[in-house]
Amino acid sequence: MSADHIVQIFCRVLGTNEVDASSDFFELGGDSLLATRVLSAIARDYGTELLFEDFVDDPSARGLFSKVAAAVP
């Protein structure tokens, strides 16, 4: 597993292809409303419900992936 899928979620929600695993979601033009849509997509695709605080803590695909990986036993 890698952060690639979360990069794809970022691209879809933000409507851009200019995303890499370390890009800051909010610097890419994301806001809290769009962040919730990333979290709902992660919940659907990984079965892991992250918190909004997880997102703010490191708002990159890599940061979110590390939290998903830590949550999966």
CA distances from 31 to 1, 10, 67, 71 (A): 26, 12, 20, 24
Structure token pair of residue 43: 């919940």
Please, what is the minimum distance in Å from the beta carbon of residue 56 to other proteins? 7
- Find the binding residues for other proteins in span 2-41 (CB under 8 A): 29, 31-41
- Find the binding residues for other proteins in span 35-54 (CB under 8 A): 35-41, 43, 49-52
Spatial distance between the Cα atoms of 50 and 29, rounded to a whole number of angstroms: 21
Please, what is the minimum distance in Å from the beta carbon of residue 29 to other proteins? 7
Structure token pair of residue 51: 């918190």
Would you count residue 70 as binding other proteins (CB under 8 A)? no
List residues binding other proteins (CB under 8 A): 29, 31-41, 43, 49-52, 55-56
